[in-house]
Amino acid sequence: MDHKLTSRGLVTAACLVLAGCVTASDLAGSIGSGARRSYLDHAGRDGPVLAVAVNLPASLSAEATGQLVARAAGDAITETTTRFTNDPGLARNRDYRLVVVFDPPRGTAPSTLCEGAPVGVTQGRPEMLVGAIFCARGQALAGARASGPRPRSPNDPALSKLVRAAIGELFPTPIGGPKGASERALDGIQLSPGIRLTRSPLEGIF
Distance CA 165, CA 167 (A): 6
Q: What is the pLDDT of residue 170?
A: 95
Q: β-pairing, 49-54 with 96-102?
A: parallel
Q: What is the mean pLDDT of residues 3-12?
A: 41
Angle between the N-to-C axes of helices 62-76 and 157-170, in degrees from 0 to 180, rounded to the nearest 10: 50
**Confidence at residue 96, expressed as pLDDT on a 0 to 100 scale:** 95
Residue 11: its H or E element: helix 3-17
Residue 84 falls in which region: left (phi positive, over 0), alpha (psi -120 to 50) or beta: beta
Whether residue 53 contacts residue 65, with contact meaning beta carbons closer than 8 Å, is answered with yes
Q: pLDDT tens across 55-107, in order?
A: 988 888 889 999 999 999 999 998 888 999 999 999 989 899 999 999 998 88
Q: Taking a C-beta distance cutoff of 8 angstroms, is the pair 85, 50 a contact?
A: yes
Q: How confident is the model at residue 117 (pLDDT cuts 50, 70, 90)?
A: confident
Highest mean pLDDT pick, 60-64, 135-139, 140-144, 190-194: 140-144
What is the rounded average pLDDT for all residues in the chain? 80
pLDDT at 100: 96
Residue with more model confidence, 34 or 186: 34
Domain chopping of the chain, boundaries: 20-186
What percent of the chain is predicted at pLDDT more than 90?
A: 45
Is pLDDT at 5 greater than 60 in this prediction? Answer: no
| pLDDT per residue as tens digits for the range 9-37 | 444 444 544 455 899 998 888 888 888 99
pLDDT at residue number 177: 52
Question: What gap in Å lies between CA 131 and CA 33, rounded to an integer?
Answer: 17
Q: Residue 15 corresponds to which amino acid? A: C
Q: What's the rounded mean pLDDT across residues 46-60?
A: 90
pLDDT in tens, 118-134: 787 676 778 899 999 99
Report d(CA 185, CA 14) in Å as an integer: 42
